[in-house]
Amino acid sequence: MLKTDFPLFMIDGHAYICDMTSKRVAGPEIEKLIQLLAKVPGLGPRSARRAALHLIKKKEQLMTPLAGALAEAVEKVQVCSVCSNVDTQDPCSICKDPRRDDATIIVVEDVSDLWALERAAEMSVRYHILGGTLSPLDGVGPDDLNIRSLIDRIASGGIKELILAVNATVEGQTTAHYLTAQLETFDVKITRLAHGVPVGGELDYLDEGTLSAALRSRTLF
Ligand code: ZN
């Protein structure tokens, strides 16, 4: 048995020393796992420790299948050469789907926006992912986004409507204005998402910007 002044704990038959001086409580492999998990959005260091411990406790049921799924994803995930979506095939499942409307493209900032719109399941159309928004202060210019490929798609014909579903932020709206100017010469209807009162929202709780946008984009009842 290992002799130490520090407390010991066991995982899978291996003893780990609780090094009280450096506050390290696990072996380097576990520490590395915690550090990597802490980089996942939504997980801070504390949640990462809880997640790592949960994985260790559920080694067979969760950790092993998760490691397999991660390895498979690393091998198979690729970016769609048409719309920049992520999938395990190129073109992606959405670009390949013959049931979707070819004449309408929804332009989004990120894949998460595409997923959100698909959850709403309102329209069965095509997408184009910009990969961000124009932000001169952060050094993001038109060449850093998938704008050239969008113009090429429209230039190849068949697109009747482009829906700009960018975020209602300064950068999102700047990007929308830039795209509209770039696509001026094409015979394509450019629309944007309505800004206004959220479903289930109460007027009293809305900020002035949202309320004035809702008033400006009022529709016939
Ligand atoms: Zn695609």
Q: How high is the pLDDT of residue 20?
A: 47
90 CA to middle of ligand 1, Å?
A: 7
The CA distance from 37 to 164, in Å, is 34
109 CA to middle of ligand 1, Å?
A: 14
Phi, then psi, of 86 in degrees rounded to 5? -105, 140
H or E stretch at 15: strand 14-17
94 CA to middle of ligand 1, Å?
A: 6
Return the axis-axis angle of helices 45-57 and 28-37, rounded to nearest 10°: 120
pLDDT means per 10 residues, the chain with 221 residues, are: 56 56 74 93 92 96 97 96 96 96 96 94 93 92 94 94 93 94 94 90 89 88 87
Tokens 């899978």, residue?
A: 12
What's the whole-model pTM score? Answer: 0.79
Q: 68 with 46: CB under 8 angstroms? A: no
- Domains in the chain, start-ordered, CATH in brackets? 100-195 (3.40.1360.10)
10 CA to middle of ligand 1, Å?
A: 48
86 CA to middle of ligand 1, Å?
A: 8
Q: How high is the pLDDT of residue 18?
A: 52
Residue type, 90: D
Q: How high is the pLDDT of residue 55?
A: 96
Q: 78 with 88: CB under 8 angstroms? A: yes
